[in-house]
Each structure stands twice: as C-alpha cells, then as structure tokens.
C-alpha cells in the first residue's frame, strides 16, 4: 500500500474528530468564527515547535522560499479559513454526517483546479471514482424535512450553497498546499509538509485574530477561556493538517481529497452513536455511492484497474 493512503485516512479521521469538537463549541459556547479560530490558535504553536525540533534533530534547513511558495501557501490558508467557517455554519442547517458530506464537492473542484493550476490530471478510473462520489453528494442536496417546493429547491437551498462554497474553497486550499510543498524542492516529505503547515497555520492565526478583534469583541477571550475543548480542537487540527499536508506532498491533491471522503463513514458513526441523529434512506444511499467511490479510487491508484 502506498504511504499516502494510510496518511490520508489518518487525516480524515482526525479531521472528523475536530469537526465534532467544533460542532460542540459552536452549539454551546462560541460563534462560527470563534469555533474556527480555535483550530488555529492552539495548533500553530504546536506545529512551529515540532518542526523546529525536527529540523534541529535531522540537521536540515529551509534556505530559500520562492515567491511561488508564498502565493500558494497564503492563498490556500485564506481559502481554508473561509471554507472552515462555511462548514461550521452548515451544522445549523443539516445533521452532522450530512453536513460533512456536502463539503465533499471539493473533490471535483480539486481535480479541476489541479489540472488548471498544477497541470496534474487524473486517470480514467480515478475520474470515475470522483464521479460516483459526486452522485452521492448530489443525493444529499435535499431541503430539511417539512420543506415545500419544486425539485430545484433540492439543489438551491442554504445548506447546499454553504456546502458547495466550502467545497470550492477547500479545493483552492488543497491545490495551494500541494503547490506550496512542491515549490520547496525538498526530498524530505515530512520537512516540506511540516514547514509549509507551520507557515500557513501562523498566517491563519494572525488573520483570524485580526478579524475577531475588529468584528467580534470578546470572542478571542471566550476561545481562550474554553481552552479545554478548544485545545483539543487545536490538537486534532494539528494532527489532521499535518497528515493532509504530508499526503499532498506525496500524491495528486484530487486523489488525496477523494480518498478523504472516508471521513463520511467516520461522521456517520459519530452522528449515530455520539449525537444520536437519525439518517434517512436517501442519505444512506448517498453514503453507499461515496463508499464505492473510495474503493474505486484505491483500486485505481494501486494500478489494479489498469
């Protein structure tokens, strides 16, 4: 099994834990922006310390940062902030498992952006895997129970809009992060992933701090006051983000994000057993499509369908 596969699965699992914690913060204590800020303020220092220690232990250094690196890293970081805010806001529209699934439209956009920006295409079977997963996402574009209206309201409602927007923004961030890690020209994937993450996380913390200071007075204090849960958000964010960055440095971002849809299964388990949410037949069918897409992708990238 190629290394990027277990790394991507670990990233999806950690990300699911982080969204569970953020949902708790959003529902009981913090605003959307505050719950988003929690993942950055507590993870950025940890990342910086760990990569500094790693560089000293291995005797490595990053000597030059090309303009291309800054363009990719900062645009990806800003897009991720906005995307995370969309996902946190989405929790108020649909249940936890479905909310996570809406954002999975990012896989299709990542494939397109990767081709346009980085010149990285996908194989026929890889494209089929992405298409099957997208069908599952479309099946979930349904208004809440009790809503009335024509079929097009299934595709054009607030929940679908937030999900699609977050997908586009996450695609921008994924493409940016892969471009940034590759621009460093380092052989050590741990160093290029960790260093890029440290730069991005620090930038995101500063941007969110300025935003909250100007727009939501007192929210930073609330994030710091609820450090027990918010700190766990930061820890799971650091683990998940490093795994994503490491996977991006090893494989096409579209494939990484497509495999990351396994997060859907984790979120489904969390929704049923942790949040005691009910799942409809339509949602189960959609999850089935996405599960099939994951299996197709693993087979495709393992050259078993060549």
Residue 100 pLDDT grade (very low, low, confident, very high; cuts 50, 70, 90): low
Residues 180-193 as b/e (b if ≥16 CB within 10 A, e otherwise) read bbbbbebeebbbbb
- Say if CB 192 and CB 247 are below 8 A apart: no
pLDDT category of residue 140 using cuts at 50, 70 and 90? low
272 or 98, higher pLDDT: 272
The Cα–Cα gap between 246 and 237 comes to 14
Tokens encoding 203: 């930038």
Is there a contact between 130 and 254 (Cβ–Cβ < 8 Å)? yes
pLDDT of 93 higher than 70: no
Flag whether pLDDT at 76 surpasses 80: yes
Give residues with Cβ within 8 angstroms of 41, minimum separation 6: 205, 208, 209, 223, 224, 230, 234
Cβ–Cβ under 8 Å, residues 204 and 40: yes
Q: What is the DSSP letter of 155?
A: T
pLDDT at 245: 94
Domain locations along the chain: 4-301
**Residue pair 230/223 in contact by the 8 Å Cβ criterion:** yes
| Helix H or strand E segment including 82 | helix 67-90
pLDDT computed for residue 83 by the predictor: 87
pLDDT category, 232, cuts 50, 70, 90?
confident
**DSSP code for 144:** P
52 or 231: which carries more pLDDT confidence?
A: 52
In our burial notation (b when 16+ CB lie closer than 10 A, e otherwise), range 74-88 reads bbbbbbbbbbbbbbb
Number of helices (H), then strands (E), belonging to the chain: the values are 14, 0
Average pLDDT, the chain: 82
DSSP symbol at 143: P
Q: How far apart are CA 14 and CA 235, in angstroms?
A: 9
Query: Residue 240 and residue 257: Cα distance in Å, rounded?
Result: 13
CA distance 129 to 149: 32
Here the tokens at position 259 are 């495999």
Predicted confidence (pLDDT) at residue 226 exceeds the cutoff of 60:
yes
**Residue range 37-68, pLDDT digits in tens:** 887 898 899 999 999 999 999 999 888 899 99
């Amino acid at each position: 099994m190629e290394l990027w596969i277990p790394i991507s699965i670990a990233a999806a699992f950690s990300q699911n834990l982080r969204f569970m914690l953020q949902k708790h913060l959003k529902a009981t204590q913090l605003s959307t922006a505050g719950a988003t800020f929690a993942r950055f303020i507590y993870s950025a220092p940890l990342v910086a310390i760990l990569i500094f220690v790693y560089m000293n232990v291995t005797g490595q250094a990053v000597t030059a940062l090309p303009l291309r690196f800054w363009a990719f890293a900062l645009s990806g970081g800003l897009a991720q902030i906005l995307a995370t805010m969309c996902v946190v806001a989405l929790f108020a529209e649909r249940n936890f498992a479905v909310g996570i699934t809406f954002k999975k439209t990012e896989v299709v956009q990542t494939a397109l952006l990767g081709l346009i920006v980085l010149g990285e295409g996908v194989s026929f079977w890889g494209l089929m895997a992405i298409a099957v997963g997208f069908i599952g996402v479309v099946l979930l574009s349904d208004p809440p129970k009790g809503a009335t209206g024509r079929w097009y309201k299934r595709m054009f409602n607030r929940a679908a809009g937030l999900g699609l927007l977050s997908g586009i923004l996450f695609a921008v961030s994924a493409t940016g992060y892969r471009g940034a890690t590759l621009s460093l020209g380092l052989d050590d994937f741990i160093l290029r992933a960790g260093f890029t993450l440290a730069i991005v996380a620090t930038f995101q913390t500063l941007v969110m701090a300025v935003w909250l200071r100007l727009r939501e007075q007192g929210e930073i204090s609330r994030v710091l006051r609820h450090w027990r849960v918010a700190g766990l958000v930061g820890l799971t964010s650091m683990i998940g983000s490093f795994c994503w960055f490491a996977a991006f440095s090893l494989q096409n971002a579209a494939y990484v994000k497509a495999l990351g849809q396994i997060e859907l299964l984790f979120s489904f388990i969390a929704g049923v057993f942790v949040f005691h949410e009910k799942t409809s037949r339509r949602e189960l069918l959609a999850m089935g499509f996405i599960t099939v897409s994951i299996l197709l992708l693993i087979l495709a990238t393992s050259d078993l369908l060549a």
